Amino acid sequence: MRKLPELGDVGRELVEAMGSTTEKFEIEAMRMFAGKCKSSPFSSEEIRKGKVFLNDWCASWGYDPRKREGDVNQEVNIRLLQAFLHAAGDPDADALDGYAVGVSTGHNRRMPRTPAVFEAKKKWRLDYEPPEKVS
């Protein structure tokens, strides 16, 4: 069983940095988890303050949360998530490199895998059969 590193009171500190309370944060988090929110329950200022805190916190642990050359613009800050996961000791944090630069999807494209979760697949249940041609 993997032991997580001691992260201190990062959750409480994040909520305080956002100018919120633990009670409000927990209620809003539960609403989000339950799919009851049509938009973010946090104001743009709370979100901005939270991002600033997390950027500084990750940097203090030695992980750079800034975007890198080649990263695509997207709604989720993948590098910040990756930095946080590194600080938390997640063995698959490096797998997010593929998401930061854009994941190729579609026919005959390789998808990134998370080595600490899934072993490399060596055998398939069914043999590949090409589709039948319609005459």
Q: Are residues 90 and 69 in the same domain?
A: yes
Whether 110 has a pLDDT exceeding 70, the answer reads no
- In the block, tokens 């997390």 appear at 54
Euclidean distance between CA atoms 13 and 33, whole angstroms: 21
pLDDT at residue number 6: 76
Overall number of domains in the chain:
2
Q: Tell me whether residue 113 is in a domain.
A: no
Shared domain check, 67 and 45 = no
User: What is the full DSSP assignment across 34-60?
Assistant: TT--SS-SS-HHHHHHHHHHHHHHHHH
Asked if residue 118 is part of any domain, the answer here is no
Tokens of 69: 């050359």
- Give φ, ψ of 61 to 5 degrees: -90, -5
54 near 65, Cβ under 8 Å? yes
Domain-embedded: residue 119? no
Residue 81 within a domain: yes
Task: Read off the amino acid at residue 35.
Answer: G
| Band of pLDDT at residue 106, cut at 50, 70 and 90 | low
Structure tokens at 67: 């975007």
Q: How far is CA 134 from CA 17, 101, 128, 129, in A?
A: 63, 39, 18, 15
On whether both 49 and 65 belong to a single domain, the answer is no
In this structure, is residue 110 part of a structural domain? no
Residue 130 lies in a domain: no
36, amino acid identity: K
Closest CA relative to residue 63, chosen from 45, 85, 30, 46: 85
Is residue 15 located within the same domain as residue 46? yes
* Position 112 in a domain: no
Tens-place pLDDT, residues 14-24: 999 999 999 99
Report yes or no on 135 lying in a domain: no
Domain of 88, in residue numbers: 61-102
